Structure 1
């Protein structure tokens, strides 16, 4: 079982999703985005993540670009 964790820096809202497969993270991100919009009337402008392939894949990059959102990644091997 895999888990993904999303946190909104603006509101401090945190959400954990449990998944059967690691590649389900794209759908969970869209679910989190919809939850933020419904709950706080906020839109996500930037997604900050490590350089993991689960976030930096073609589907995610295409979706973020089509929505006008920016992807910020950390330097490799820096968990901070």
Structure 2
């Protein structure tokens, strides 16, 4: 029987979200758009909108020690 996915309310650590089998909307497709923008970006969204989790996903994405996790795709998890 497959485990029920949790909702990562208040979580800001991307690795924890993946390891604890929580829902996550894959936003890696937006990284090339961010790379083409100015050097300074401001993320203005309401509280609890996923800003910190998104930034931690970016940190994990560019971490060379985790590159194989993203090569497999986020659906398969770490």
Give the TM-score of the pair, scaled to structure 1. 0.28
**Larger relative contact order (CA 8 Å, sep ≥ 6):** 2
Larger relative strand fraction? 1
Give the TM-score of the pair, scaled to structure 2. 0.28
